[in-house]
Chains A and B, each alone.
Chain A
Amino acid sequence: MNEKRILLSGNEAVARGAYESGVKVAAAYPGTPSTEILENIRAYKGIYAEWSPNEKVALEMGMGAAFAGARALVAMKHVGVNVAADPLFTMAYTGLRGGLVLVTADDPEMHSSQNEQDSRNYAKFAKVPMLEPSDSQEAKDFTGLALELSERFDTPVMLRSTTRISHSKSIVLLKEPAEQTAEPKLVKDPLKFVMLPANARKRHPVVEKRMEDLSRFAETFPENRIEWGENKIGIITSGISYQYAKEVMPEASYLKLGMVYPLPQELIRSFASRVEKLFVVEDLDPFIEEQVRAMGIAITGKAAFPLCGELTPALVAKGLKGFSPLPVDEISRNLPARPPIMCPGCPHRGIFSILSKLKLYVTGDIGCYTLGFLPPLSAIDTCVCMGASIGNALGLDKALGEEALGKVVAVIGDSTFLHSGITGLLDVAYNKGAVTLIILDNHTTAMTGRQDHPGTGFTLKGEEAFQVDLVRLAKVLGVKHVKVVNPYQLAATERVIKREVKRPEPSVIISQAPCVLSRRERAVTGKPFLVNSEVCTGCRACLRLGCPAIMWVKENENEAGGKKRKGRALIDHFLCNGCTLCEQVCKFSAIKETNGQ
């Protein structure tokens, strides 16, 4: 066997692990930091891989595959588990036939998320075991182990990653796939798989018994291991926290947990009894800490380490040794921030410049367009979770009635709409909401790096697929007024928005234009625009678009050449995508297209 050592990210390693351990079916909805798992699985032969419309469907289809006896992997970001929680909890009762691993990628520090919930609580809540890797090698190995455990104990197994595992690279030893697992086949087993109350009542004790078996198994599971060092300090830890602790205190003794639920109580007791002071180092919730404490063992955890945000080597050093992290330098603290910003030429910019101008109350959703919150557009008033824009707008309408009419609008992206917005719109139509929804249809899932979805006409594997028609979809849900607009035509789009928000009935505006980063389609010319510095009055109308290609050049009286202006606008021709918006908002015709260079 030809063994190869390469650098892989945690996500790439999970994908490789799926391949090496004979996974047949893999499904996910993209979400940072989990997205690259499926993007990498796509390349492996012999695995059916798909983008599902949302995480619930992904888990249900993975479950179906495992009912047939195939091995399945389903991946999602932490908040995706909320969406998939319904099948997850009952799957613990049914068990499966083939192995199923549910990978959740948590995002401590919320690098790209709306909350930092700790998925380990789901393992306890749903009564399923959970493994947690601490580098890419383990991410790969634990994917295989999770599938083995899943089959051995007849349970779904969760694998918890975090941003620093998913998006860190470390060395992985590659292997070739093991001998093929059993061929899937159709086998009826209704007493196990039909969770009617009568059947489910019989399954619940099975679940409890299984957790006891797993607790016993955890005691000798080789990935729960003790690394003896000095006995002054003992550290219980797992995941990325293990690496940080090893980095700052290599001399301590460690109980490194590969399985974070259920915990090996005897192992913990014996480890604790042989060290003088016991610490637990864990990101986010005191998940291990509370269980250890409930065993009557004194342990220091969140008293020394923060509950909010991600741990870092410096924070771990502070908790273990009392070293204060270096303060951020005075100079660094006073720098202008550099937040992410919508691309030059982004089709969302036109819509948000109109919403900003009309000063509407905008219920927002999850995607690139959430960046419409930032100044100078400042045109998002709520953002909660996938699909919430629509329900939020309906609630405002029902609570405020006439008061809200003409003042509120909901915005959602195409991918997010298909993920969780359809039922919200159904509610609006069914309950006669005076709600206007703008679907920002850029034909992709842009935020996570442009993945396909049921509205793009392509699958994860790049095959052509049926493309859902958003206009017809809105109509069959019961919305009579559906308008399509081109977001690069500001005046026409503004007229439609003004008219629709005043309508005391459900209405939908579909803003259609591809993401400027799309490889398939282009709506903008790419020919840069130019500000005529003679004509520019310095009125700043174009700057209010918040396009990163437009900047303000301050001028003193001499520089302005007798003009009554404090400065002028300048377009960076390397950045400009030629979307025409600035030309449209300039009342003095100072901005013109160039011929390309």
Chain B
Amino acid sequence: MDNKTTNILIVGVGGQGIILASEIMADVFLEAGFDVKKSEVHGMAQRGGSVSTHVRFGPKVFSPLIKEGEVDIFMSFEELEALRYLHYLGPKSTIILNRQRLNPPAVSLGNEAYPEGAAEILSRRAGKFKGIPARDLALQVGDVRAVNIILLGALQPFLPISEKIWTENILSRFPAQAQKVNLEAFELGRSA
């Protein structure tokens, strides 16, 4: 990682908590002493449409957008959405996939089929691959919304940033009564 910028692409469906995940990431990288940029598209994307967020950190970052073919870490909150961004993957990308399916309208209506085999396709193209049933784990800790924190937990071992910086940032974002659940979620993600 040294002098190079690390490129993280996070994708999924509006409403899955992707924005919060990317906010935490960006703050953690800042806290760890890096230059950071992050870009996302609001607006129409919020009504359950596809969402993608680019996060980049390193000694000096220019573009907030990642170039196709140069993603180091790819985190997808949803299987179909993961397949939309294959051309962003680098030759050795680390892939973290939430094993969750959300039907887009044409699939709900029965007009198109949900693609099969996302995990297989991705693991074949990945340097390292981690598939996680984050939604089930979130239900296990008692809060469906914790999917994003679980995925951040899964990300932590791949980055040179201490666990403490992550957990402190997560704690700072939740009211007292929600802190325990989210710390548990983070731990569960780490060990998944």
Would you call B115 and A169 a contact (CB within 8 A)?
Answer: no
- A240–B87 Cα distance when bound, in Å, is 23
- A248–B26 Cα distance when bound, in Å, is 22
Would you call B63 and A336 a contact (CB within 8 A)?
Answer: no
Would you call B106 and A336 a contact (CB within 8 A)?
Answer: yes
Residue of B whose beta carbon sits closest to that of A331: B83
CB A373 to nearest CB in B, in angstroms, measures 12
Residue in B13, B44, B86, B144 whose beta carbon sits within 8 Å of that of A332 in the complex: B86
**Chain B 132-157 near chain A by CB (<8 Å), digits 1 or 0:** 00000000000010000000000000
> Is B81 close to A, CB under 8 A?
yes
> Is B112 close to A, CB under 8 A?
yes
Chain B interface size band reads 35 or more
> Is B43 close to A, CB under 8 A?
yes
- A376–B84 Cα distance when bound, in Å, is 23
Residues of B near A170 (CB, < 8 A) are: 36-38, 61, 64
**Chain B 35-57 near chain A by CB (<8 Å), digits 1 or 0:** 11111111111111110000000
Residues of A near B62 (CB, < 8 A) are: 243-244, 246-247, 250
CB B89 to nearest CB in A, in angstroms, measures 9
Binds B, one of A14-22, A188-196, A414-422, A549-557: A549-557
Binds B, one of A144-152, A320-328, A430-438: A320-328
Would you call B47 and A317 a contact (CB within 8 A)?
Answer: no
Would you call B41 and A163 a contact (CB within 8 A)?
Answer: yes
- A149–B188 Cα distance when bound, in Å, is 54
Binds B, one of A285-293, A340-348, A380-388: A340-348
Residues of B near A343 (CB, < 8 A) are: 47-48
CB A59 to nearest CB in B, in angstroms, measures 23
Using a CB–CB cutoff of 8 Å, the interface residues on chain A facing chain B are 5-7, 32-33, 111-112, 135, 163-164, 167-171, 240, 243-244, 246-248, 250, 312-314, 317, 325-329, 331-332, 335-343, 368, 371, 374-376, 447-449, 543, 546, 548, 550-552, 554, 567, 574
Residue of A whose beta carbon sits closest to that of B37: A170
- Sample (6) of A-B pairs whose CB atoms are under 8 Å apart: A112-B44, A164-B64, A168-B64, A169-B64, A247-B63, A336-B80
Q: Which of chain B's residues 148-190 have a Cβ closer than 8 Å to chain A? A: none
Would you call B40 and A339 a contact (CB within 8 A)?
Answer: no
- A199–B27 Cα distance when bound, in Å, is 54
Residue of A whose beta carbon sits closest to that of B51: A338
Would you call B27 and A335 a contact (CB within 8 A)?
Answer: no
Would you call B81 and A338 a contact (CB within 8 A)?
Answer: yes
Would you call A332 and B38 a contact (CB within 8 A)?
Answer: no
Would you call B48 and A554 a contact (CB within 8 A)?
Answer: no
Residue in A7, A317, A336, A543 whose beta carbon sits within 8 Å of that of B30 in the complex: A7
Would you call B42 and A340 a contact (CB within 8 A)?
Answer: no
Given A170-B64, A331-B83, is A336 in contact with B112 using a C-beta cutoff of 8 Å?
yes
Residues of B near A448 (CB, < 8 A) are: 43
Would you call A340 and B46 a contact (CB within 8 A)?
Answer: yes
Given A244-B65, A551-B108, is A167 in contact with B42 using a C-beta cutoff of 8 Å?
yes
Would you call A169 and B80 a contact (CB within 8 A)?
Answer: no
> Is B129 close to A, CB under 8 A?
no
Residue in A326, A327, A550 whose beta carbon sits within 8 Å of that of B108 in the complex: A550
Would you call B110 and A567 a contact (CB within 8 A)?
Answer: yes
- A240–B37 Cα distance when bound, in Å, is 12
Residues of B near A337 (CB, < 8 A) are: 104, 106
Which residue, A243, A336, A574, has most C-beta atoms of chain B within 10 A?
Answer: A336
Which residue, B27, B65, B121, has most C-beta atoms of chain A within 10 A?
Answer: B65
Given A111-B43, A341-B48, A341-B49, is A552 in contact with B110 using a C-beta cutoff of 8 Å?
yes
Would you call B65 and A548 a contact (CB within 8 A)?
Answer: no
> Is B20 close to A, CB under 8 A?
no
> Is B59 close to A, CB under 8 A?
no
Given A167-B40, A331-B86, is A340 in contact with B108 using a C-beta cutoff of 8 Å?
no
Would you call B65 and A164 a contact (CB within 8 A)?
Answer: yes
Top 6 closest pairs, chain A to chain B, by CB? A112-B43, A552-B110, A340-B47, A340-B49, A32-B43, A329-B86
Residue of A whose beta carbon sits closest to that of B13: A338
- A243–B142 Cα distance when bound, in Å, is 43
- A169–B42 Cα distance when bound, in Å, is 13
Residues of A near B80 (CB, < 8 A) are: 335-336, 338
Would you call A7 and B49 a contact (CB within 8 A)?
Answer: no
Would you call B44 and A340 a contact (CB within 8 A)?
Answer: yes
Would you call B26 and A7 a contact (CB within 8 A)?
Answer: yes
- A449–B14 Cα distance when bound, in Å, is 13
- A74–B45 Cα distance when bound, in Å, is 26
Residue of A whose beta carbon sits closest to that of B50: A338
- A5–B48 Cα distance when bound, in Å, is 33
Would you call A167 and B39 a contact (CB within 8 A)?
Answer: yes
Residues of A near B109 (CB, < 8 A) are: 375-376, 543, 546, 551-552
Would you call B64 and A339 a contact (CB within 8 A)?
Answer: no
Residues of A near B69 (CB, < 8 A) are: 326
- A368–B43 Cα distance when bound, in Å, is 10
Residues of A near B32 (CB, < 8 A) are: none
Would you call A328 and B67 a contact (CB within 8 A)?
Answer: no
Residues of B near A328 (CB, < 8 A) are: 87
Residue of B whose beta carbon sits closest to that of A574: B144
Given A326-B68, A326-B69, A338-B50, is A111 in contact with B41 using a C-beta cutoff of 8 Å?
yes
